[in-house]
Amino acid sequence: MDLLYKILIDPFVQMGAAPDLLVQTLWEGLVSGVLYSLIALGFVLIFKASGVFNFAQGIMVVFAALTLVGLHEIGVPAFIALGLTIVVMFGLAYLVERLMLRPLVNQPDIILFMATFGLTYFLIGFGELVFGGNPKKMITSQLYLPSGAYDIKMFGGFVSLQKIDIAAAVIVSLMVISLALFFQKTRIGRALRAVADSHKAALSVGISLEQIWVVVWFAAGIVALVTGIMWGARSEVSFSLQIIALKALPVLILGGFTSIPGAIIGGLIIGIGEKIGEFYWGPLLGSGIESWLAYVIALIFLLFRPQGLFGEKIIERI
């Protein structure tokens, strides 16, 4: 009975007793959700256009952030470093397409998946070789990213909104809108959607698969850079950042592998769900349940919709 009370009633009593903390929890969940969906977005872009489940997205985040900070450390001004990093990410996309994807075209999904593991290993070694293993500080102020917080008084307490988190939310929204426009309105965007529908049909109408792949990997690279800047600002730029990328996986299965809105909404559900769960129900299990709660949330959704919330319906024929 006591247990039932703790599970079913007590958390809500707490929510009512300290509404400012509830709002803060929701806000924190929202922010982490936005950042999760940002990582998931990188996965979705590549999966949509090439059917590759890109495990290397996590290390691309680290690599992009390291390149940016590393360039700035050797004296390149912040915005030029940013530009150069974008060039580096383009180079990476080009090389990945040329050396990895092209020879592996038409292979089963799992083989391409495996190849991205190879890429991950390579980038870990390469990144440490070039930039060293020292954690680095993200150059937030040089990039004119705000710091500090707005403390808003409400419900007898306060809610603190970090400016960098607000910036993250704004930047992510802008990115999603521009990606959506890019997909809907431009020539390349239309080609991308055609490739996503069917490789063969796209090829037959003269769309260059190679070009499309470079474009999506490049787009994923830019998403990785933005992710790296935002997570880097929250803690530091180091190789342990790639673990965070695993958090994108439940977001992906929840939202569906092929849907950009799915990645966004999935991210928000996971982010808010796990923060609320950890904050109000976590102590019952001895806390720290965040590491698996997201997966369980996703699993529950999956049992009802096996293709994710927004995934294309899986139709099997014999």
Partner 1 sequence: MRMKATILASAVIAATALTGNAPPAAAQESIYVPLFTYRTGPFSGSGIYIAEGMHDYLEMLNQRDGGIGGVKIAIEECETGYDTKKGLECYEAVKDKKPVVINPWSTGITLPLIPRASVDKVPVLSMAYGLSASAIGDTFPWIFNPPATYWDGASMILSYIGAKEGGLDKLKGKTLGFIYLDAGFGKEPIPLFEQMAKDYGFTLKLYPVPATEMQNQSSQWLNVRRDKPDFMMMYGWGALQPTAVKEAAKINYPMDKFISIWWASEDDAGAAGDASKGFKSLNWHATGASFPAIADIKKYVTDKNLTQTDKSHLGRVLYNRGVYNSMLIAEGIRNAQKLTGKKVINGEDMRRGLETLNVDEARLKEIGLGGFTGPVKLSCADHNGHFATFMQEWDGTKWAKIPGDIKPMADKVNPLLTAAAKDYTDKNGNWPKRTEACDKAS
Partner 2 sequence: MFYREAGQFKTTYQADQAVFPILQDRIGLAIILVSAFVLIPLAATDFFLTVIMIPFLILALASMGLNILTGYTGLLSLGTGGFMGVGAFACYKLTTIYPGVNIVIWILVSGFFSTALGILFGLPSLRIKGFYLTVATLASQFFLDWSFIRVQWLTNYNTSGAIEVPTRTLFSMPVTGPNATPQFRYLVILSIVTLLTWFASNLVHGRIGRMWMAVRDMDLAAELIGIPLYRTKLLAFAISSYYCGVAGALMVFFWYGSAEPGVFNIDQSFTILFMVIIGGLGSLTGSFFGAALIYGLPIVLKNVLHGVGINIVPATVEHITFMSVGALIVLVLIIEPLGLARLWQITKQKLRVWPFPY
Site membership for partner 1, residue 24 (CB under 8 A): yes
Q: Which of 74, 144, 286, 313 binds partner 2 (CB under 8 A)?
A: 286
Site membership for partner 1, residue 10 (CB under 8 A): no
* Environment class of 114 (CB within 10 Å of its CB; exposed 0-12, middle 13-18, buried 19+): middle
Site membership for partner 1, residue 241 (CB under 8 A): yes
Site membership for partner 1, residue 16 (CB under 8 A): no
Q: Which residue, among 177, 166, 309, has the nearest Cα to 251 in the 3D structure?
A: 309
**In Å, how far are 57, 104, 106, 117 from 110, measured between CA atoms?**
16, 11, 11, 11
Site membership for partner 2, residue 88 (CB under 8 A): no
Site membership for partner 1, residue 67 (CB under 8 A): no
Site membership for partner 2, residue 257 (CB under 8 A): yes
Q: Which of 77, 108, 118, 283 binds partner 1 (CB under 8 A)?
A: 283
Stretch that binds partner 2, among 29-37, 61-69, 112-120, 192-200 (CB under 8 A): 112-120
* Environment class of 171 (CB within 10 Å of its CB; exposed 0-12, middle 13-18, buried 19+): middle
Site membership for partner 1, residue 247 (CB under 8 A): yes
161: β partners:
150
> Alpha-carbon distance 85 to 135, whole Å?
18
How many CB atoms lie under 10 A from the CB of residue 142? 14
Q: In this complex, which beta carbon is closest to partner 1, that of residue 217 or of residue 279? A: 279
Which pair of tokens denotes residue 285? Answer: 């299990």
Site membership for partner 2, residue 53 (CB under 8 A): yes
Site membership for partner 2, residue 205 (CB under 8 A): no
110 binds, among partner 2, partner 1, none (CB under 5 to 8 A by kind): partner 2
> Alpha-carbon distance 246 to 276, whole Å?
20
Stretch that binds partner 1, among 187-195, 203-211, 231-239, 300-308 (CB under 8 A): 231-239
Q: Which of 76, 175, 282, 296 binds partner 1 (CB under 8 A)?
A: 282
Please report the beta strands in the chain, taking only residues with DSSP state E, as ranges in sequence order: 149-154, 157-162
Site membership for partner 2, residue 306 (CB under 8 A): yes
Cβ at position 4, least distance to partner 2 in Å:
22
**In Å, how far are 134, 180, 253, 286 from 117, measured between CA atoms?**
23, 29, 19, 34
Q: Which residue, among 186, 207, 219, 272, has the nearest Cα to 44 in the 3D structure?
A: 219
Residue whose structure tokens are 């988190």: 165
The 219-248 site mask, x for binding partner 2 (CB under 8 A), equals: ---------------------------x--
Residue whose structure tokens are 């997570």: 231
Which parts of 145-174 interact with partner 1 (CB under 8 A)? 147, 149, 160, 162
Site membership for partner 1, residue 178 (CB under 8 A): no
The 102-131 site mask, x for binding partner 1 (CB under 8 A), equals: --------------------------x---
Cβ at position 36, least distance to partner 1 in Å:
9
Residue pair 230/215 in contact by the 8 Å Cβ criterion: no
Q: Maximum CA pair distance of the chain?
A: 67
Q: Which residues bind partner 1 (CB under 8 A)?
A: 18, 21, 24-25, 28, 31-32, 128, 132-135, 137, 147, 149, 160, 162, 231, 234-236, 238-241, 243-244, 246-247, 274-275, 278-279, 282-283, 286-288, 290-291
